[in-house]
Chain A
Amino acid sequence: MKAPEFDYVRARSLEEVFALLDEYGDEARILAGGQTLLATMNMRLSEPQILVDIGGLSALKQLSVVGDVLRIGAMVTHAEIEDSTVVREHAPLLSEVAPLVAHRAIRNLGTFGGSIAFADPAAEWPCILVAMKGVVIAQGVEGQRGIPADEFFIDLYTTALRPGEIIVALDLPLKGPKSIYAFDELTRRHGDYAIVGAAITGGVSEEGFLKDARIVFLGTGNKPDRAHAVEQQLETTPLTRATAATFARALDISPGGDLYNSAETKLHLARVTLERLLSKLAQTLEVPEHG
């Protein structure tokens, strides 16, 4: 399982990256953490002509509050997110999820931006980005642009990045006083890709109910799946422990099956996961100080 031959450049600037992408087109791959790319290359599933290593670009390593967002540079590692007090303060959902991403040795090198760019629907970060209404900051020769998460993930391993563009940072809204969230995933073994998982984010209304809910699933479709029907139902029907089960029945996603689980099993597990998350949130809403 030795990778095929390729050229390698450790980019010294973003301009150099764009020039190489322009020159090589499809034959170039961006090397971020390498935890996904190098595995596929060792298996000869991917044979690009050149790897452009962006690991030396310190501009991509920032992790700080910028205005009303938490800006996470594309090359920030999962481990850095896991360990960060800034993240814990401003985006605690990420702190909760980070330990579930693979294993620590992978997290020490794997990057947030790399995970978003790869767009594996079974991974945690794309789901979280959509749940948190994050924005992908992409940059190419034409300059920077922000792509809302809802528009970023298009299909399996397919994003709205244009040829010649790379992700430079991810912007996440800061946790507000009324922010509420919950996350859960089902795995056979700790650190595996989840069978299904879901993130719920939202706010708390004046009356103490969940509002502006986003419910996003991972592992069910070709991209993070929004449970729109349930979100809408939550706008009109208050969430309490007694009503939590009824929302799960309204789940409107259509998961596909995988190697070990039929589509029907996935849908069943998605419903169970949703019900449990909503129950947990309902409890939190009842007793806010235990949130």
Chain B
Amino acid sequence: MLTPTKSEQRIADELRYIGAPVPRPNALRLLQGRGVYVDDIVLPRMAHVVYWRSPIAHGRITSFDASFATMMPGVIGVFGAEDIADICTPWVGTLAHLPGMKSPPQYPLARGHLCWQGEPVFAVVAETRHQAEDALAYLRIEWDELPVVANMERALDPDSPLIHPELGDNLCLTRTIDNGAVDATFASADVVVEESYRFGRHTGVTMETRSVLADFNAADHTLTVYHSHQAPHMMQDLYSRHLNLPETSVRVICKDVGGSFGIKVHSYPDDFATVALSKLLKRPIKFVADRLESFTSDVHARDHLVKARLAATKDGHILAFEIDDLTGVGPYSVYPRTSGIEGNQVLNITGGPYQHANYRARLRVVFQNKPPMSQYRGVGHPIACAVTEGIVDLAASKLGIDPLAFRKMNVMHDDTYPRTGASGIKLEGLSHDACLARIERLADYDGLRDEQRRLREDGVFRGIGIAAMVELTNPGPAFYGIGGARIAAQDGATVRLDAGGGITVMVSVGEQGQGSETIFAQIAADALSIPIERVRVITGDTSVTPYGGGTWASRGAGIGGEAVLQASNALGMQLIEFASAVHERSSEGLKLFNGQVMDAESGAFLIDLKDLASKAYFRPDTLPRDFQPELSATRHFSQRDYPFVFTNGVHVSYVEVDVDTGMVKLLKHWVVEDCGRVINPMLVDEQIRGAVVQGIGGVLFEECLYDEAGLLRNGSMADYLVPMASEMPDIEIAHVETRTKTSALGAKGAGEAGSAGAPAAVMNAINDALAPFHARVTSQPITPEKILVALGKVTPGRA
């Protein structure tokens, strides 16, 4: 059987679907309310678990009495750490390639040491959720409070309370980069600008809260977990190892997932506890987080304070960047992806678009008594981009150079790749020049500047903010594998011709609404030249699909898609071989077209794929004796040419600031994105828009507000402000396509670019609007009050 080499991999002769705005077939059931999310699944004897969560940020349980609670109607049991200690082992959220990282062992249920408000401690299992919540109120629990670490800027003070005394301090990870001659450069530079940027801790707020339904079969010791999750194989591995079950005994199924954004790529202590309870109680146990507990138990992100400097020549060439990033995570590093990756990426990505040889960066990740923090859409990029683009704007302003012109001068130019950035990132091929030129036209930059000038005379203050960005996608094992994590950096696809003539594609990358299943169908349909209606895609089941990594770091199209392409190509060749054997002619002149095999030259029809399948499955007696047709092909793909395949893009935000109220109106937003080959422009564009709106959430609205006792003050949908339709601008998108040569498909990732660049663009736009007042805001979310303080209209110093 011939397998095409990488250079022989081809897309297809004719692209009917790839590149086209194909509507999603799996959207039909969602449009009728007939999707199946975890909470929709009901199993016999299913019980519900509710967690008693620590009401305080730091303390120790001193007494616990469940006797009343256990007597409540419907209650099956009340459980603590000791009850599942023999069932589920603890974990440590560190990775070997983050040297020096430390974190203590964490258990599914806290063993008396309460470390954050929201930490799960006791489990109440009952016939219904109502009954479990009723019983919760009757738990008799007492605790002592311990001093709280709630201010990351003081977490490393010598007299700071220690969350884990055995670790010696509250430092989780530190890392430095020092490339070039930073001190000398800053000392001799014509222009040095300096600024600090603050980013408010916030969280994902997925529409569907975290949900897991664990079903342990006591007879054959198999575990089936229905999970609202992005990485089923990772969870299969974790449940297998921590519950000491053979991996083949664990099946993780992800059906419809109501939004994830990275929040659902992690493991959670309450997930492990739920699974352990299913094993203990020998029945299905369902855990669905309610909204209030989501705010205190979902992974948080983006709690950073970054000090930045930039050195430049007087004619506007950037020479150096320097940053110091302090980030306050939770009391445990999240498992298994750690709480260090976000900060690590801030270091790697800052300065990304720009030519410079000198870069120094320091990262300190400190523990706090707040919910654990880890990857959330963009993972460090929103921060790195805002810091970079903020300080670049400041430099441009100091030099009196237009911010667009400044960027055009300083970005790495399109004909200078491959190259390595000052932080060490390896760049295959980017298109900053092309994107800047494109957005200048798309947004009518000169027109915006004219309008801004005119309106200023009338006392109307509009601002234009630009953000150039790079973004890592299609990661290889550099991300996790080399650190010892069992997180697959490769993915696989099985493509099969079924007896009825349809194609089934099983892929290890799943779908949470972004359209993965649709693009896989597009790729397979084009590669096999078959109408897309005959293609069915199956994802999200570890018993069915090949082994793979799932959805994260914008890898679905680039890695999953490539596996589908290669598997489809392989199947195509096998089908041609089969047809040639059946018709006793050379495979040379045969091709697949529109669901049939035909003569490539004459166009003569040979056989329909349906009939070919029937022969193989039902009439092998009619085939040549020594020929066994194989009607399925599995191929795996991992991207091994670069640690990551970088994409680039640029945002422009146009805002109007009411300088009397501090209110910001988002007038319009533009994005030019280069994600390589665009497989489905409609899906990619709405992904970008959704990510832009999430980024807007971070820059204007969203923050988890904590008091000094480490208690969340705005943990409801009424008080935590997420973007809603009325305040969002129209977002216009265009693409430049620099295809990656690391795959035949040439597709890079696009899922996170919107959230990477939007905060920077909006912050820069606000500061551009405030420029006549010599006022700047650098703390996100940028609330009206912060603008009024910058304008000197109210005094700072509120809690």
Contacts and interface: CB of A to CB of B under 8 A. Distances in A.
A–B contact (CB under 8 angstroms): yes
Contacts of A272: 660-661
Contact of A186 (B661, B714, B716): B661
Classify chain B's interface size: 20 to 34
Interface in A176-196: 186, 188-193, 195
A172 B336 CA distance: 63
B721 A269 contact: no
Contact of A2 (B129, B291, B713): B129
Nearest to B292: A1
A190 B701 contact: no
B794 interface: yes
B788 interface: yes
Nearest to A258: B719
A192 B714 CA distance: 14
Contacts of A268: 788, 793-794
A259 interface: yes
A189 B721 contact: yes
Given A268-B793, A272-B661, A259 B134 contact: no
Contacts of A264: 794-795
A186 B663 contact: yes
B6 interface: no
Nearest to B131: A2
Interface string A41-53: 0011000000000
B517 interface: no
Contacts of A265: 784-785, 788, 794, 798
Given A188-B721, A259-B705, A265-B788, A4 B134 contact: yes
Contacts of A186: 661, 663, 784
Contacts of A43: 292, 716
A262 B661 contact: no
Interface in A1-41: 1-2, 4-5
A5 B714 CA distance: 26
B75 to A, nearest CB: 14
B681 to A, nearest CB: 30
A202 B200 CA distance: 44
Contacts of A1: 133, 290-292
Interface in A211-256: none
Given A260-B783, A262-B785, A190 B727 contact: yes
A146 interface: no
Interface string B659-698: 0110100000000000000000000000000000000000
B243 to A, nearest CB: 29
B714, B783, B784, B795 — most chain A CB neighbours (10 Å) = B784
A269 B793 CA distance: 10
A186 B662 CA distance: 11
B794 A262 contact: yes
B130 interface: yes
Nearest to B727: A189
B207 interface: no
B604 interface: no
B727 A269 contact: no
Contacts of B795: 264
A85 interface: no
A261 interface: yes
Given A188-B721, A268-B793, A5 B705 contact: no
Contacts of B718: 193
A116 to B, nearest CB: 20
B130, B663, B719, B785 — most chain A CB neighbours (10 Å) = B785
Contact of B134 (A5, A190, A262): A5
B797 to A, nearest CB: 8
Contacts of A191: 724, 726
B719 A259 contact: yes
Contacts of B726: 189-191
Contacts of B714: 259
A208 interface: no
B719 A269 contact: no
A47 to B, nearest CB: 9
A190 B785 contact: no
Nearest to B725: A190
B473 to A, nearest CB: 32
B556 to A, nearest CB: 31
A173 interface: no
A51 to B, nearest CB: 16
A244 to B, nearest CB: 13
Contacts of A188: 663, 701, 721, 727, 784
A257 interface: yes
A89 B793 CA distance: 41
Interface in B724-772: 724, 726-727
A1 to B, nearest CB: 4
B775 to A, nearest CB: 15
A264 B785 CA distance: 10
B321 to A, nearest CB: 33
A265 to B, nearest CB: 5
B133 A259 contact: no
Interface in B340-390: none
Given A2-B130, A264-B795, A272-B661, A189 B724 contact: yes
Given A257-B798, A259-B714, A269-B784, 18 more contacts: A1-B292, A2-B129, A44-B137, A186-B663, A186-B784, A188-B663, A188-B721, A188-B727, A189-B727, A190-B724, A190-B726, A191-B726, A259-B719, A262-B785, A264-B794, A264-B795, A268-B794, A272-B661
Interface of A: 1-2, 4-5, 43-44, 186, 188-193, 195, 257, 259-262, 264-265, 268-269, 272
27 contacts: A1-B133, A1-B292, A2-B133, A43-B292, A186-B661, A186-B784, A188-B663, A188-B701, A189-B701, A189-B726, A190-B724, A190-B726, A193-B718, A257-B798, A260-B785, A261-B783, A261-B785, A262-B785, A262-B794, A264-B794, A265-B784, A265-B785, A265-B788, A265-B794, A268-B788, A268-B793, A272-B660
Interface of B: 129-130, 133-134, 137, 290-292, 660-661, 663, 701, 705, 713-714, 716, 718-719, 721, 723-724, 726-727, 783-785, 788, 793-795, 798
| Chain A to chain B: the 8 pairs with minimum beta-carbon distance, closest first | A190-B726, A262-B798, A1-B290, A2-B130, A265-B785, A272-B660, A264-B794, A265-B794
